[in-house]
């Protein structure tokens, strides 16, 4: 696998959940409400409203919830009023400007009070848990509860499915890749983050085509535009690399309070995920090549250790149904060595998944993380009035 010559990816934001607790009760802008009463005294305890969906053009949806002093918005700001989201916004400022434009459309029944804008944090403090055992950072502005980081990786026409299968042999963190039955998606699931790679052209045809046909018709300019994008993704071999960072992860890394962290930290985290294919470089799955790779990379220092480790790899490839005892320290050592060159013996060997690796002696897959979009592509447009917020 030949890595991209570009040092940075064209990362952008996909899904985003933002919330903020304001120092005043927010206006009741929904037509329905939920009141909580004490059955014994009849006292009203709480008055809130269920969340609702803000629908833009092309059936794009943003979810909004008002609960007392707290405003929550979730959705994909890069997809608002657009047919597709092949490309998106590259800064949180642009994403939240879209959300601010949406929430300020809503006011109370008299039109006097509108929902407030999300604001950046300008100060912070420390909050201690009820047990007193943990402390956490608290800002005075918007809080990021989930953010999805995305890069369009090109692997060349016809290589996308083979590349995805090859990725499914790799571990990310402590998680093995899970290849979907259709072979077009692989994901890695952890408690506080979630990664996946999938064929973008296939996803457009599967999810966007049916909706566009229903709303606009098969002969419409909108449907023809989506067809152009899907064909372009086919030509480039676009594999979508997506990374979802959940609330627990953001809190631990102190990346949740908008304005109190360096946004470039997201790029560093995303680059680690993009490097998942760096170990897909075993040129031929034979005894000598595996041993040479182990020595060449400094993973082992002796030919004896290299040969013993290569022998385990050959057993894994040539003995279907073989099971290794990973409770033994020596087998753990073999597994760790082979994992560093992209061979995960904890997963059953599957020739269809490893074909992209073994075929490299005949043809290389060259990847790039900078997708040059065609002239017909309609880029996302952030609100022009990017107001300075406190």
Three-state SS annotation for 169-223: CCEECCEECEECCCCCEEEEECCCEEEEEEEHHHHHHHHHHHHHHHHHCCCCHHH
Q: Give me the pLDDT at residue 365, please.
A: 67
Distance (Å, whole) CA 90 – CA 77: 11
Interior angle at CA 257, CA 253 and CA 259, nearest 5: 115
Q: Give me the pLDDT at residue 348, please.
A: 80
Structure tokens given for 203? 């996803």
Q: Give me the pLDDT at residue 9, please.
A: 64
Q: Which parts of the chain have pLDDT scores under 70?
A: 1-9, 59, 129-133, 281-288, 351-365, 384-390
Longest dimension (CA), the chain: 82
Distance (Å, whole) CA 208 – CA 230: 10
DSSP state of 2: B
Q: Are 285 and 338 in contact (CB under 8 A)?
A: no
Q: Give me the pLDDT at residue 349, please.
A: 76
Q: Give me the pLDDT at residue 16, please.
A: 97
Structure tokens given for 146? 């989930």
For residue 183, is it left (φ>0), alpha (ψ between -120 and 50) or beta?
Answer: left
- Contacts for 190-196: CB closer than 8 Å, 24+ residues apart: 191/246, 191/248, 192/245, 192/246, 192/247, 192/248, 192/249, 192/252, 193/243, 193/244, 193/245, 193/246, 193/249, 194/243, 194/244, 194/246, 195/241, 195/242, 195/243, 195/244, 195/273, 196/242
Task: Please choose, from the candidates 199, 123, 192, 203, the residue with its C-alpha nearest in 3D space to the C-alpha of residue 159.
Answer: 199
Q: Give me the pLDDT at residue 113, please.
A: 84
Q: Give me the pLDDT at residue 347, please.
A: 80
Task: Please choose, from the candidates 168, 171, 193, the residue with its C-alpha nearest in 3D space to the C-alpha of residue 336.
Answer: 171
Q: Give me the pLDDT at residue 2, please.
A: 47
């Amino acid at each position: 696998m030949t890595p991209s010559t570009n040092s940075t990816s064209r990362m952008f934001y996909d899904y985003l959940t933002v919330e903020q607790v304001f120092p005043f009760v927010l206006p009741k802008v929904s037509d329905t409400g939920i009141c909580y009463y004490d059955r014994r005294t009849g006292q009203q305890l709480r008055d809130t409203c269920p969340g609702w969906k803000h629908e833009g053009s092309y059936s794009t949806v943003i979810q909004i919830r008002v609960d007392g002093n707290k405003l929550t918005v979730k959705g994909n700001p890069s997809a608002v009023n657009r047919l597709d989201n092949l490309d998106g916004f590259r800064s949180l400022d642009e994403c939240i400007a879209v959300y601010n434009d949406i929430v300020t459309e809503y006011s109370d029944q008299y039109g006097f009070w509108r929902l407030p804008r999300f604001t950046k944090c300008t100060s912070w403090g420390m909050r201690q848990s009820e047990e007193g055992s943990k402390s956490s950072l608290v800002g005075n502005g918007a809080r990021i509860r989930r953010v999805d980081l995305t890069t369009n990786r090109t692997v060349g026409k016809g290589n996308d499915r083979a590349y995805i299968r090859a990725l499914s042999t790799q571990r990310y963190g402590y998680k093995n890749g899970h290849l979907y039955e259709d072979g077009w998606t692989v994901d890695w699931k952890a408690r506080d983050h979630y990664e996946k790679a999938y064929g973008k052209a296939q996803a457009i045809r599967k999810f966007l085509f049916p909706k566009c046909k229903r709303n606009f018709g098969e002969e419409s300019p909108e449907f023809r535009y989506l067809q152009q994008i899907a064909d372009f993704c086919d030509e480039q071999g676009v594999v979508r690399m997506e990374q979802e960072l959940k609330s627990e992860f953001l809190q631990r890394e102190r990346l949740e309070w908008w304005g109190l962290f360096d946004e470039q930290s997201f790029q560093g985290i995303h680059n680690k995920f993009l490097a998942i294919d760096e170990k897909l470089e075993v040129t031929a799955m034979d005894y000598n090549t595996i041993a040479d790779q182990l020595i060449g990379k400094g993973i082992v220092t002796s030919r004896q250790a290299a040969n013993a480790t290569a022998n385990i790899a050959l057993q894994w490839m040539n003995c279907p149904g073989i099971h290794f005892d990973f409770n033994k320290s020596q087998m753990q050592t073999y597994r760790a060595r082979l994992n560093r060159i992209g061979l995960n013996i904890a997963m059953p060997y599957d020739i269809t998944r490893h074909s992209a690796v073994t075929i490299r002696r005949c043809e290389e897959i060259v990847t790039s993380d900078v997708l040059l979009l065609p002239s017909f592509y309609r880029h996302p447009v952030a609100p022009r009035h990017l107001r300075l917020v406190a």
